[in-house]
Amino acid sequence: MREEQGDKAAAGPARGEAGMNPRLGEILEAAARTVVYDGAEGPQVSYGGELHVGVDLGTAYTVLVVLDEAMVPIAGAYRFSQVVRDGVVLDYMGAIKTVKELKAQVEARLGRPLESAATAYPPGVALAEVRATGYVLQGAGLECSRLVDEATAASTLLQVGSGVVVDVGGGTTKLAVIEEGEVVYTADEPTGGTHFTLVVSGAMGIPFMEAEALKTNAAEQARLFPAVKPVMEKVATIVSRHVAPFRPARIYLCGGSARFPGMARVIEEATGIPTCIPGEPLFVTPIGIAMSNFAGETAPLR
Protein backbone atom coordinates (compact mmCIF):
# COMPACT_ATOMS: atom_id res chain seq x y z
CA MET A 1 0.00 0.00 0.00
CA ARG A 2 1.31 3.47 -0.85
CA GLU A 3 2.32 5.51 2.16
CA GLU A 4 0.48 8.78 2.68
CA GLN A 5 2.48 11.94 2.13
CA GLY A 6 2.38 14.37 5.02
CA ASP A 7 2.97 18.12 5.16
CA LYS A 8 -0.05 18.87 3.01
CA ALA A 9 0.21 22.60 3.71
CA ALA A 10 3.73 22.68 2.30
CA ALA A 11 2.89 20.70 -0.84
CA GLY A 12 1.56 23.85 -2.49
CA PRO A 13 3.05 24.25 -5.94
CA ALA A 14 2.10 20.81 -7.29
CA ARG A 15 0.71 22.43 -10.44
CA GLY A 16 3.67 24.70 -10.94
CA GLU A 17 4.40 28.29 -10.03
CA ALA A 18 6.45 31.09 -11.52
CA GLY A 19 9.82 29.69 -12.54
CA MET A 20 8.74 26.02 -12.29
CA ASN A 21 7.67 23.35 -14.75
CA PRO A 22 4.05 24.24 -15.65
CA ARG A 23 3.30 20.54 -16.23
CA LEU A 24 4.69 19.44 -12.86
CA GLY A 25 1.30 18.70 -11.30
CA GLU A 26 0.15 16.64 -14.29
CA ILE A 27 3.38 14.62 -14.27
CA LEU A 28 3.45 13.90 -10.54
CA GLU A 29 -0.25 13.01 -10.44
CA ALA A 30 0.37 10.53 -13.28
CA ALA A 31 3.24 9.04 -11.28
CA ALA A 32 1.02 8.65 -8.20
CA ARG A 33 -1.46 6.66 -10.32
CA THR A 34 0.97 4.48 -12.23
CA VAL A 35 4.07 3.85 -10.09
CA VAL A 36 3.15 1.08 -7.62
CA TYR A 37 4.80 -0.22 -4.47
CA ASP A 38 6.53 -3.60 -4.12
CA GLY A 39 4.58 -5.94 -6.33
CA ALA A 40 1.18 -4.25 -6.05
CA GLU A 41 -0.93 -4.54 -9.18
CA GLY A 42 -0.79 -1.51 -11.42
CA PRO A 43 -2.84 -0.60 -14.48
CA GLN A 44 -2.04 -2.36 -17.74
CA VAL A 45 -0.63 -0.05 -20.39
CA SER A 46 -1.17 -0.07 -24.13
CA TYR A 47 1.46 2.20 -25.63
CA GLY A 48 3.66 1.70 -28.68
CA GLY A 49 5.66 4.93 -28.71
CA GLU A 50 9.12 5.82 -27.46
CA LEU A 51 9.83 5.01 -23.82
CA HIS A 52 12.05 6.89 -21.37
CA VAL A 53 13.15 4.78 -18.40
CA GLY A 54 14.84 5.84 -15.19
CA VAL A 55 16.23 3.76 -12.33
CA ASP A 56 16.95 5.42 -8.99
CA LEU A 57 19.12 3.22 -6.75
CA GLY A 58 18.49 4.85 -3.41
CA THR A 59 19.69 4.04 0.09
CA ALA A 60 16.15 3.11 1.17
CA TYR A 61 14.10 2.77 -2.02
CA THR A 62 14.84 1.58 -5.53
CA VAL A 63 12.49 3.13 -8.08
CA LEU A 64 11.98 2.27 -11.74
CA VAL A 65 9.76 4.64 -13.70
CA VAL A 66 8.72 4.68 -17.37
CA LEU A 67 7.66 7.84 -19.24
CA ASP A 68 5.97 8.16 -22.60
CA GLU A 69 7.31 10.39 -25.38
CA ALA A 70 5.58 13.39 -23.77
CA MET A 71 7.62 12.71 -20.58
CA VAL A 72 4.55 11.66 -18.57
CA PRO A 73 4.76 8.55 -16.34
CA ILE A 74 2.83 5.55 -17.66
CA ALA A 75 4.23 2.74 -15.47
CA GLY A 76 6.69 2.06 -12.72
CA ALA A 77 7.44 0.19 -9.51
CA TYR A 78 9.43 0.74 -6.33
CA ARG A 79 10.43 -1.15 -3.21
CA PHE A 80 12.31 -0.77 0.04
CA SER A 81 15.84 -1.93 -0.73
CA GLN A 82 19.06 -1.41 1.20
CA VAL A 83 21.61 -2.16 -1.49
CA VAL A 84 23.26 1.28 -1.60
CA ARG A 85 24.82 3.41 1.12
CA ASP A 86 26.02 6.98 0.57
CA GLY A 87 26.02 6.44 -3.17
CA VAL A 88 28.09 3.25 -2.97
CA VAL A 89 26.60 -0.04 -4.20
CA LEU A 90 27.26 -2.35 -1.25
CA ASP A 91 25.18 -5.31 -2.41
CA TYR A 92 25.89 -5.56 -6.13
CA MET A 93 24.01 -8.82 -6.74
CA GLY A 94 21.13 -7.68 -4.57
CA ALA A 95 20.89 -4.44 -6.56
CA ILE A 96 20.80 -6.37 -9.84
CA LYS A 97 18.13 -8.71 -8.48
CA THR A 98 15.98 -5.79 -7.31
CA VAL A 99 16.19 -3.91 -10.61
CA LYS A 100 15.60 -7.09 -12.62
CA GLU A 101 12.44 -7.87 -10.61
CA LEU A 102 11.09 -4.32 -10.88
CA LYS A 103 11.86 -4.40 -14.61
CA ALA A 104 9.90 -7.66 -15.02
CA GLN A 105 6.90 -6.26 -13.13
CA VAL A 106 6.78 -3.17 -15.31
CA GLU A 107 7.35 -5.10 -18.55
CA ALA A 108 4.37 -7.32 -17.69
CA ARG A 109 2.18 -4.21 -17.46
CA LEU A 110 3.54 -2.69 -20.66
CA GLY A 111 3.50 -5.91 -22.69
CA ARG A 112 6.90 -5.03 -24.16
CA PRO A 113 10.55 -5.22 -23.05
CA LEU A 114 12.52 -2.36 -21.54
CA GLU A 115 15.85 -2.08 -23.33
CA SER A 116 17.67 0.89 -21.83
CA ALA A 117 17.51 3.24 -18.87
CA ALA A 118 19.29 6.18 -17.29
CA THR A 119 20.42 6.09 -13.69
CA ALA A 120 21.92 8.54 -11.20
CA TYR A 121 24.47 9.04 -8.45
CA PRO A 122 24.92 11.51 -5.58
CA PRO A 123 27.19 14.52 -6.26
CA GLY A 124 30.80 13.93 -5.31
CA VAL A 125 30.80 10.13 -5.57
CA ALA A 126 33.97 8.51 -6.93
CA LEU A 127 33.95 7.66 -10.63
CA ALA A 128 34.27 3.93 -9.94
CA GLU A 129 31.09 4.01 -7.85
CA VAL A 130 29.28 6.05 -10.51
CA ARG A 131 30.12 3.39 -13.07
CA ALA A 132 28.96 0.65 -10.69
CA THR A 133 25.39 1.96 -10.90
CA GLY A 134 25.58 1.59 -14.67
CA TYR A 135 26.86 -1.95 -14.32
CA VAL A 136 23.87 -2.77 -12.10
CA LEU A 137 21.57 -1.77 -14.95
CA GLN A 138 23.54 -3.88 -17.40
CA GLY A 139 23.36 -6.85 -15.04
CA ALA A 140 19.59 -6.45 -14.91
CA GLY A 141 19.29 -6.49 -18.72
CA LEU A 142 19.15 -2.74 -19.35
CA GLU A 143 21.61 -0.77 -21.45
CA CYS A 144 22.78 2.22 -19.40
CA SER A 145 22.08 5.23 -21.60
CA ARG A 146 23.16 7.99 -19.24
CA LEU A 147 24.52 8.69 -15.76
CA VAL A 148 23.35 11.92 -14.12
CA ASP A 149 23.81 13.31 -10.63
CA GLU A 150 20.67 13.07 -8.50
CA ALA A 151 20.32 16.76 -7.67
CA THR A 152 20.51 17.72 -11.33
CA ALA A 153 17.98 14.99 -12.20
CA ALA A 154 15.49 16.46 -9.73
CA SER A 155 15.99 19.94 -11.15
CA THR A 156 15.44 18.56 -14.67
CA LEU A 157 11.84 17.76 -13.76
CA LEU A 158 11.15 20.75 -11.54
CA GLN A 159 12.66 23.24 -14.03
CA VAL A 160 13.22 25.71 -11.23
CA GLY A 161 14.24 29.15 -12.46
CA SER A 162 16.09 29.96 -9.28
CA GLY A 163 16.28 28.50 -5.79
CA VAL A 164 17.57 25.30 -4.17
CA VAL A 165 16.40 21.77 -4.92
CA VAL A 166 16.99 19.60 -1.84
CA ASP A 167 16.66 15.83 -2.24
CA VAL A 168 16.41 14.18 1.18
CA GLY A 169 16.96 10.52 0.45
CA GLY A 170 17.47 7.48 2.60
CA GLY A 171 21.10 8.05 3.50
CA THR A 172 22.08 11.52 2.32
CA THR A 173 20.81 15.01 1.68
CA LYS A 174 21.66 16.26 -1.80
CA LEU A 175 21.14 19.80 -3.03
CA ALA A 176 21.46 21.82 -6.20
CA VAL A 177 21.57 25.60 -6.24
CA ILE A 178 19.94 26.96 -9.38
CA GLU A 179 20.38 30.44 -10.80
CA GLU A 180 18.69 31.58 -14.03
CA GLY A 181 17.76 27.98 -14.80
CA GLU A 182 21.32 26.65 -14.47
CA VAL A 183 22.74 24.40 -11.74
CA VAL A 184 25.64 26.42 -10.30
CA TYR A 185 26.46 24.34 -7.21
CA THR A 186 25.79 20.84 -5.88
CA ALA A 187 26.52 19.13 -2.58
CA ASP A 188 25.80 15.87 -0.78
CA GLU A 189 26.12 15.02 2.91
CA PRO A 190 25.06 12.09 5.11
CA THR A 191 21.71 12.42 6.90
CA GLY A 192 18.38 11.19 5.59
CA GLY A 193 15.53 8.79 6.14
CA THR A 194 17.74 6.01 7.48
CA HIS A 195 18.73 8.34 10.30
CA PHE A 196 15.03 8.97 11.01
CA THR A 197 14.58 5.22 11.35
CA LEU A 198 17.62 4.79 13.58
CA VAL A 199 16.31 7.50 15.92
CA VAL A 200 12.89 5.84 16.07
CA SER A 201 14.52 2.47 16.67
CA GLY A 202 16.52 3.83 19.58
CA ALA A 203 13.67 5.85 21.07
CA MET A 204 11.20 2.96 20.91
CA GLY A 205 13.66 0.16 21.66
CA ILE A 206 12.65 -1.80 18.56
CA PRO A 207 14.57 -3.39 15.62
CA PHE A 208 15.40 -1.27 12.57
CA MET A 209 12.79 -2.81 10.23
CA GLU A 210 10.04 -2.43 12.82
CA ALA A 211 11.08 1.20 13.22
CA GLU A 212 10.98 1.67 9.43
CA ALA A 213 7.42 0.32 9.30
CA LEU A 214 6.42 2.57 12.21
CA LYS A 215 8.04 5.62 10.62
CA THR A 216 6.11 5.17 7.37
CA ASN A 217 2.77 4.54 9.10
CA ALA A 218 0.78 7.76 8.73
CA ALA A 219 -1.15 7.03 11.93
CA GLU A 220 2.08 6.99 13.96
CA GLN A 221 3.95 9.93 12.48
CA ALA A 222 2.55 12.67 14.74
CA ARG A 223 3.66 10.65 17.77
CA LEU A 224 7.13 10.15 16.29
CA PHE A 225 7.64 13.76 15.21
CA PRO A 226 9.44 14.92 18.41
CA ALA A 227 11.96 12.09 18.02
CA VAL A 228 12.78 12.79 14.37
CA LYS A 229 12.64 16.60 14.51
CA PRO A 230 16.35 16.88 15.46
CA VAL A 231 17.25 14.95 12.28
CA MET A 232 15.14 17.37 10.25
CA GLU A 233 16.98 20.24 11.93
CA LYS A 234 20.30 18.66 11.00
CA VAL A 235 19.13 18.54 7.37
CA ALA A 236 18.30 22.23 7.67
CA THR A 237 21.76 22.94 9.06
CA ILE A 238 23.35 21.16 6.09
CA VAL A 239 21.25 23.15 3.66
CA SER A 240 21.91 26.46 5.42
CA ARG A 241 25.67 25.97 5.38
CA HIS A 242 25.82 25.17 1.68
CA VAL A 243 23.43 27.83 0.40
CA ALA A 244 24.59 30.74 2.58
CA PRO A 245 26.72 32.32 -0.19
CA PHE A 246 23.82 32.19 -2.67
CA ARG A 247 20.92 33.60 -0.61
CA PRO A 248 18.19 31.61 -2.44
CA ALA A 249 14.58 32.76 -2.40
CA ARG A 250 13.02 29.30 -2.03
CA ILE A 251 13.79 25.69 -1.17
CA TYR A 252 12.10 22.85 -3.08
CA LEU A 253 12.09 19.58 -1.12
CA CYS A 254 11.97 16.17 -2.76
CA GLY A 255 13.02 12.63 -1.90
CA GLY A 256 11.23 9.99 0.13
CA SER A 257 12.14 11.52 3.50
CA ALA A 258 10.36 14.75 2.54
CA ARG A 259 7.12 12.79 2.93
CA PHE A 260 7.32 12.88 6.73
CA PRO A 261 4.78 15.42 8.04
CA GLY A 262 6.36 18.62 9.28
CA MET A 263 9.55 18.32 7.23
CA ALA A 264 9.05 21.44 5.13
CA ARG A 265 7.91 23.46 8.13
CA VAL A 266 11.02 22.55 10.17
CA ILE A 267 13.34 23.31 7.24
CA GLU A 268 11.67 26.68 6.67
CA GLU A 269 11.77 27.67 10.33
CA ALA A 270 15.42 26.66 10.72
CA THR A 271 16.72 28.22 7.49
CA GLY A 272 14.42 31.22 7.24
CA ILE A 273 13.87 30.34 3.57
CA PRO A 274 10.35 29.62 2.23
CA THR A 275 10.18 25.85 1.66
CA CYS A 276 7.71 23.75 -0.31
CA ILE A 277 7.17 20.15 -1.40
CA PRO A 278 6.15 20.01 -5.08
CA GLY A 279 3.68 17.12 -5.20
CA GLU A 280 4.78 13.50 -4.52
CA PRO A 281 8.44 14.00 -3.50
CA LEU A 282 9.58 10.37 -3.82
CA PHE A 283 9.16 10.36 -7.61
CA VAL A 284 10.76 13.71 -8.49
CA THR A 285 14.31 12.42 -8.91
CA PRO A 286 13.39 9.11 -10.67
CA ILE A 287 11.28 11.01 -13.20
CA GLY A 288 14.11 13.47 -13.78
CA ILE A 289 16.43 10.52 -14.35
CA ALA A 290 14.02 8.99 -16.87
CA MET A 291 13.84 12.30 -18.74
CA SER A 292 17.56 11.79 -19.50
CA ASN A 293 17.03 8.39 -21.16
CA PHE A 294 16.90 8.31 -24.96
CA ALA A 295 17.02 5.22 -27.16
CA GLY A 296 20.36 4.66 -28.86
CA GLU A 297 22.48 6.53 -26.32
CA THR A 298 25.05 4.67 -24.25
CA ALA A 299 26.83 5.95 -21.17
CA PRO A 300 30.65 5.50 -21.07
CA LEU A 301 31.27 2.96 -18.30
CA ARG A 302 34.93 2.20 -18.93
> How much of the chain, in percent, has pLDDT values that exceed 90?
60
Q: State how far the Cα of 2 lies from the Cα of 178, in Å rounded to an integer.
A: 31
| Three-state DSSP class for residue 224 | helix
The DSSP line for 254-273 is ESGGGGSTTHHHHHHHHH-S
Of 79, 99, 83, 81, the closest CA to residue 91 belongs to: 83
Instruction: Note the Cα 51 to chain centre separation in Å.
Output: 20
Of 73, 79, 58, the closest CA to residue 136 belongs to: 58
Alpha carbon of 138 to those of 6, 131, 134: distances in Å? 36, 11, 6
pLDDT > 90? residue 41? no
Sheet containing 61-67: order of strands = 35-37, 73-80, 61-67, 52-57, 116-121, 143-149
pLDDT > 50? residue 8? no
pLDDT at 233: 96
Averaged over 164-171, what is the pLDDT?
88
pLDDT > 70? residue 40? yes
0.75 exceeded by pTM: yes
pLDDT > 60? residue 208? yes
pLDDT > 90? residue 66? yes
> How much of the chain, in percent, has pLDDT values that exceed 70?
93
pLDDT > 90? residue 225? yes
pLDDT at 13: 47
Averaged over 259-280, what is the pLDDT?
92
pLDDT > 70? residue 5? no
Name residue 140's amino acid: A
- How confident is residue 218, by pLDDT bands cut at 50, 70 and 90? very high
Of 297, 290, 296, the closest CA to residue 64 belongs to: 290
pLDDT at 284: 94
Q: In this structure, are strands 116-121 and 52-57 parallel, antiparallel, or unpaired?
A: parallel
pLDDT > 60? residue 242? yes
CB 107 within 8 A of CB 113: yes
The DSSP line for 121-181 is E-TT--HHHHHHHHHHHHHTT-EEEEEEEHHHHHHHHH--SSEEEEEE-SSEEEEEEEETT
On average, the pLDDT of the chain sits at 88
pLDDT at 247: 87
Alpha carbon of 23 to those of 26, 29, 267: distances in Å? 5, 10, 26
pLDDT at 130: 84
Instruction: Note the Cα 68 to chain centre separation in Å.
Output: 19
Domains along the sequence of the chain with CATH: 22-149+284-290 (3.30.420.40), 154-282 (3.30.420.40)
- How confident is residue 19, by pLDDT bands cut at 50, 70 and 90? low
pLDDT at 86: 66
pLDDT > 50? residue 4? no
- How confident is residue 7, by pLDDT bands cut at 50, 70 and 90? low
Averaged over 209-221, what is the pLDDT?
93
Pick the more confident residue, 164 or 82.
164
- For 270, other C-beta atoms within 10 Å of its C-beta total 18
The DSSP line for 98-116 is HHHHHHHHHHHHHTS---E
- How confident is residue 87, by pLDDT bands cut at 50, 70 and 90? low
Q: State how far the Cα of 168 lies from the Cα of 294, in Å rounded to an integer.
A: 27
List % helix, strand, coil for the chain (3-state, nearest 5): 40, 25, 35
pLDDT at 12: 47
